[in-house]
Amino acid sequence: MSSFGKKLREAREAKSFSQAELARQIESHHSIIGKYERDEVKPTIDVVKKLAEVLDTTVGYLLGESEDRELLKDPSMLRRLNDIARFPEQDKKCILYALDAMINNVKLKAIQ
């Protein structure tokens, strides 16, 4: 799994930002961006949220929860997941069971 610093550097470079530009965008100093990227200092969650917003990615990606920088950026998908999360446990199990079956079906079609 990639470190926070590596993920941050990759996301920054994908946006073609210098450390100084990224620091300016989040109202910080460029030296702190370098420290984050070298994993010498860990940012607060508020800073991670700012970084994700400026870099057009997600907190989950920067924290290593996902390898996909675009995962859960689709508002309609995120809304659906939030809806499911609020359902009673039994309803969630049923929905996820059905969803898993549909996902497996699509994967099998792709293999054939």
Burial of 73 (0-12, 13-18, 19+ CB in 10 A): middle
Torsion from C-alpha of 50, 1, 67, 59, nearest 10 degrees? -20
| Interval 24-79: pLDDT, tens | 999 999 999 999 999 999 999 999 999 999 998 888 889 887 666 565 566 777 78
Spatial CA neighbour of 62 closest among 86, 46, 77, 75: 46
Give the per-residue pLDDT at 27. 95
AA identity, residue 80: R
The pTM assigned to this predicted structure is 0.64
Give the per-residue pLDDT at 98. 93
Comparing 83 with 24, the larger pLDDT belongs to 24
Give the per-residue pLDDT at 69. 59
